Amino acid sequence: SWSALDSPLVGRSASVLQRMDHRSVSSVTIPPPACMLRPLEVPMRYLFGPGPSNVPPRVLASGSRPIIGHLHPEMYEIMNDIKKGIQYAFQTENNMTISMSGSGHAAMECAVFNVVEPGESVLVAVNGIWGERVAEIAERMGANVHTMVKAPGGYYTKEEIEQAIEKHKPVLFFLTHGESSAGLCHPVDGIGDICRKHNCLFLVDTVASLGAAPIFMDKQKIDILYTGSQKALNAPPGTAPISFNDRACYKMFNRKTKPISYLFDMTHLSNYWGCDGNTVRAYHHTGPVSGFFALRESLAILAEKGLEESWRKHKEVSAYLYKGLEDLGLKLFIPDRDLRLPSVTTIAIPEGYDWREMLGYIMKHHQMEMTGGLGPSIGMVMRIGLMGYNCEKTNADKALHALADALKNCKKSKA
């Protein structure tokens, strides 16, 4: 029987209503942002601060290679290469050697989260921002944190360290090798022996020093060592090599509680990196494929150049920079030349000058980044970084010219 619903007019009306209803459901109320309709623009700058540093064309090109799957056999091969490159850079034979998918802070947290359990004692040497940061990380995860504190640029004797370890009986002692906030390269020899004597793990941060100053993980009995990709290694920020020796692994894999982070759990990461002896690598997270390409290439450049040559070059160029700074009448913040970090040089803020004005002038007129202090060293220093690809006397000359220009043209107070 015929119904009014069968009318062609009614049918067309229903179709129109359906289309209108579809539009109302799918329509957007936020328009495309104007900024996203413009091409990406990035200025060319001299990155002469504490990092990231300028990246060599070869490393930039490696990061633009076609993406492959993060679980493809070819990716595992690249990860195996990275592992061997890190072992060379760290001077270690540790099997448990990987790169974190994240910046140096990821490695910092991974180290603390995996070897420390809530309530355990941790001792942190603080002489700049990185000790402060590790102390906070350990405190947040429930450790019983003890700190040794000195002003930026201060360093610890082995006697001071042993006394503190005897007093606090920590499961972990942290020291920054390259304290970039102060420009200090801390002596490491003999500290590993003290830690072993007192059954304490030795954790060292080399984010600002790896490739620029000598470090020997195995010989110096360092239990956990980490670094970042963006300093003397000259890869883009975002990957962080880390290595654990057998002592650290024993503590890490015999925990009573699970680490507080799933992403940084070495039970899973050791499998992802093929370090746990299993033939099958299970999915844990999606690693930064392009970042790993770039890290592999930066480690290859270091291997081709050789560690000794890299250390020699950083020492030579930093000495050249020191003389130029002193010729300008500037005062180096670390008086003892042997304690200066070759990759990041700190100068005392010149008397009568506003350091922010000077750095702003240098950026505006020279397209050059230098920075002020960080954490406890803010207002105390200006920092000049010449590392890896940037570690050349010609770049030191550019930095010195920019500083001389700023000293001439920035206001100086009469006081």
DSSP string, 280-324: SPPP-----HHHHHHHHHHHHHHHHH-HHHHHHHHHHHHHHHHHH
pLDDT of residue 412: 82
Owner of token pair 């033939």:
279
* Angle between helix 307-327 and helix 289-305 axes, rounded to 10 deg: 90
- At 368, which helix (H) or strand (E)? strand 368-369
363: Cα separation from own chain's centroid = 23
d(CA 370, CA 349): 13
Give the chain's end-to-end CA distance (angstroms, integer): 103
Cβ partners under 8 Å of residue 184, min gap 6: 127, 128, 152, 153, 154, 155, 178, 334, 339, 340, 341
- Start-end of H helices in 169-277: 191-197, 246-252, 266-272
pLDDT at residue 10, rounded to an integer: 53
pLDDT of residue 26: 73
Q: Where are the alpha helices (DSSP H) in 73-157?
A: 73-90, 104-115, 129-140
- Smallest Cα–Cα separation from 115: which of 223, 23, 237? 223
Structure tokens at 255: 């925990």
Q: How far is the C-alpha of 98 from the C-alpha of 259, rounded, in Å?
A: 18
Residue 25: the pLDDT is 65
Torsion angles phi and psi, residue 103, rounded to 5: -75, -175
Rounded to two decimals, the pTM is 0.92
Q: Which two tokens stand for residue 326?
A: 């002193």
* Residues 307, 88 contacting (CB under 8 angstroms): yes
Whole-angstrom Cα distance, residue 93 to residue 2? Answer: 87
Name the DSSP class of 375: G
Where is the binding site, in residues? Answer: 383
Residue 276 to residue 381: CA distance in whole angstroms = 45
Q: Quick one: pLDDT at residue 21?
A: 55
Tell me phi and psi for residue 172, to 5 degrees.
-145, 135
Q: What residues form the annotated binding site for substrate? A: 383
The closest alpha carbon to 235, from 48, 62, 65, belongs to 62
pLDDT in tens, the chain (415 residues): 445 445 555 555 555 555 555 555 679 999 999 999 999 999 999 999 999 999 999 999 999 999 999 999 999 999 999 999 999 999 999 999 999 999 999 999 999 999 999 999 999 999 999 999 999 999 999 999 999 999 999 999 999 999 999 999 999 999 999 999 999 999 999 999 999 999 999 999 999 999 999 999 999 999 999 999 999 999 999 999 999 999 999 999 999 999 999 999 999 999 999 999 999 999 999 999 999 999 999 999 999 999 999 999 999 999 999 999 999 999 999 999 999 999 999 999 999 999 999 999 999 999 999 999 999 999 999 999 999 999 999 999 999 999 999 999 998 875 5
Contacts of 201 (CB under 8 A, 6+ apart): 115, 171, 172, 173, 195, 223, 224, 247, 248, 251
Amino acid 1: pLDDT: 46
| Other C-beta atoms lying within 10 Å of the C-beta of residue 197 | 11
The alpha carbon of 17 is separated from its chain's Cα centroid by a whole number of angstroms, namely 57
Residue 266 to residue 249: CA distance in whole angstroms: 9
Which of these, 324, 328, 364, 321, lies nearest to 343 by C-alpha position?
Answer: 321
Q: Closest by alpha carbon to 242, among 218, 207, 292?
A: 207
Structure tokens at 240: 């962080």
Q: How far is CA 312 from CA 42, 305, 319, 391, in A?
A: 33, 11, 11, 11
